[in-house]
């Protein structure tokens, strides 16, 4: 049986992670350049006008939910890599992993309060903690977990769609007062703290979906989706995700209104993410080394946690009132070109900074801090024995 070497496996995974990180930026960048921030984005204010309106709609739909789904799957793959690494060394699982999840949750809480109310790290920490224990069960039990999680998610999604369908139409209302445009850094921190339940609702809503995607990622890795002899599996995923789900996703997002947007983001987009994963895996399945684009994405992927946080810090500085206040200066005619330029500038910064950093260090700065914290905690817990860290998110 032919299989890839570890270096080729992780090269493909690094490219996937890099694509997922820049893809989440492509989604979140529109929130930053909205004068009302996340509230304005949800309320539908600050939209493009004229010929830029359809461009904005297509660009937003291109990224909506798909790369978040890919990032979620990659977390599941990272989790099973860590499990296998522990098992090869004869160590119990999940062992010290709850410490790692706790550190990630702390990272997410600080990230949420200081910079980004749509942080995903808290949700991933919670999901990872649950799935770490699910991975101790048999394959049949894990499949039952996936089926149950998908069923619960579908039921919750149906309730949300029914509520949106019966809700009366309303005109978008600007946020007043607007802490994103007019408030200080501390005003935004207080605003997020005051509305923590509202801003964290999505974490609870997508928890069943996240559990399912974590487990699907773990199973795809176990099914050797990266190996050259699994082309049939990758082709099936690409057909389902890119040939079937992607056109449906665009139709829902562009023509389905608020209901279509929800159905796309939480329904078809995760399937598209599977197709994206399969397409990237297929490119590197023969063991080829990444080209210029692949190397650029790999650097971001190897420093995924640091790049995710850095992109949100940079966008906050540029767009919010406590920084350069870009969002408040934009209007319907300028929001799309300005957002495109900002996305390109931040992406280029992440690529350059990550490559320069990795010339001297093996891990990104936040990855290193998390690892050191994990070592300290597990050393105290295990009398000096620390667990290995696999190449995974984070």
Inside any domain, residue 29: yes
Inside any domain, residue 394: no
Calpha distance 100→15 (Å, rounded)? 23
Is the pTM value of this prediction over 0.85?
yes
Inside any domain, residue 65: yes
Q: Please report, in tens digits, the pLDDT of each residue of the chain (394 residues total).
A: 334 444 455 788 999 999 999 999 999 999 999 999 999 998 888 899 999 999 999 999 999 999 999 999 999 999 999 999 999 989 999 999 999 999 999 999 999 999 999 999 999 999 999 999 999 999 999 999 999 999 999 999 999 999 998 888 777 778 889 999 999 999 999 999 999 999 999 999 999 999 999 999 999 999 999 999 999 999 999 999 999 999 999 999 999 999 999 999 999 999 999 999 999 999 998 888 889 999 999 999 999 999 999 999 999 999 999 999 999 999 999 999 999 999 999 999 999 999 999 999 999 999 999 999 988 988 744 543 333 333 444 4
Inside any domain, residue 37: yes
Q: For 50, left (φ over 0), alpha (ψ -120 to 50), or beta?
A: left
DSSP 293: H
The pLDDT value recorded for residue 205 is 95
The pLDDT value recorded for residue 385 is 38
The pLDDT value recorded for residue 273 is 98
Q: Using alpha carbons, list the distances in angstroms from residue 182 to 42, 160, 186, 191, 329.
A: 19, 33, 12, 12, 12
DSSP 173: -
Inside any domain, residue 358: yes
Tokens of 349: 């910064």
Inside any domain, residue 389: no
Q: For 386, left (φ over 0), alpha (ψ -120 to 50), or beta?
A: beta
Inside any domain, residue 50: yes
Calpha distance 115→103 (Å, rounded)? 18
Q: Which residues contact 108 (CB under 8 A, 6 or more apart)?
A: 119, 120, 121, 122, 123, 124, 125
How many domains, in total, are found in the chain?
1
Calpha distance 246→69 (Å, rounded)? 13
End-to-end Cα separation, the chain, in angstroms: 31
Segments forming the whole domain that contains residue 305: 6-382
The pLDDT value recorded for residue 308 is 97
Inside any domain, residue 298: yes
The pLDDT value recorded for residue 11 is 81
Calpha distance 297→291 (Å, rounded)? 10
- Residue 15: in which H helix or E strand, if any? helix 6-32
Cβ neighbours of 106 (radius 10 Å): 15
The pLDDT value recorded for residue 9 is 56
The pLDDT value recorded for residue 287 is 83
Q: String of b and e for 24-42 (b: at least 16 CB within 10 Å)?
A: bbbbbbbbbbbbbbbbbbe
The pLDDT value recorded for residue 286 is 84
Half-sphere exposure of 61 toward its Cβ, with a 13 Å CA cutoff? 26
């Amino acid at each position: 049986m032919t299989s890839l070497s570890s270096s080729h496996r992780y090269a493909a995974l690094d490219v996937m992670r890099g694509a997922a990180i820049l893809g989440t930026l492509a989604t979140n960048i529109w929130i930053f350049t909205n004068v009302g921030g996340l509230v304005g984005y949800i309320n539908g204010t600050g939209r493009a006008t004229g010929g830029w309106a359809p461009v904005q709609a297509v660009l937003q739909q291109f990224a909506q939910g798909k790369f978040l789904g890919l990032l979620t799957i990659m977390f599941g793959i990272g989790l099973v890599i860590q499990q296998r690494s522990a098992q090869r060394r004869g160590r119990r699982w999940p062992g010290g992993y709850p410490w790692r999840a706790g550190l990630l949750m702390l990272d997410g809480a600080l990230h949420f309060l200081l910079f980004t109310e749509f942080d995903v790290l808290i949700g991933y920490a919670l999901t990872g903690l649950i799935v770490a224990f699910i991975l101790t069960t048999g394959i049949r039990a894990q499949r039952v977990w996936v089926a149950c999680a998908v069923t619960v998610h579908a039921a919750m999604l149906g309730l949300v769609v029914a509520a949106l369908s019966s809700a009366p139409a309303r005109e978008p209302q600007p946020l007043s007062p607007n802490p994103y445009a007019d408030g200080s850094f501390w005003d935004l921190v207080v605003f997020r703290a005051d509305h923590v339940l509202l801003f964290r609702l999505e974490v609870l809503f997508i928890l069943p979906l996240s559990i399912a995607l974590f487990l699907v990622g773990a199973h795809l890795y176990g099914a050797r989706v990266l190996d050259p002899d699994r082309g049939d599996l990758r082709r099936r995923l690409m057909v389902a995700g890119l040939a079937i789900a992607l056109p449906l996703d665009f139709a829902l997002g562009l023509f389905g209104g608020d209901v279509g947007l929800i159905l796309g983001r939480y329904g078809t987009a995760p399937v598209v993410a599977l197709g994206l994963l399969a397409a990237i895996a297929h490119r590197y399945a023969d063991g080829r080394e990444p080209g210029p684009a692949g190397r650029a994405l790999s650097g971001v992927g190897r420093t995924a946690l640091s790049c995710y946080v850095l992109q949100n810090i940079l966008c906050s500085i540029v767009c919010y009132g406590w920084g350069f206040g870009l969002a408040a200066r934009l209007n319907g005619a300028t929001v799309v070109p300005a957002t495109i330029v900002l996305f390109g500038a931040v992406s280029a910064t992440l690529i350059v900074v990550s490559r320069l950093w990795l010339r001297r260090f093996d891990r990104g700065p936040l990855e290193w801090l998390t690892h050191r914290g994990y070592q300290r905690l597990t050393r105290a817990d295990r009398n000096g024995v620390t667990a290995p860290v696999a190449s995974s998110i984070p």
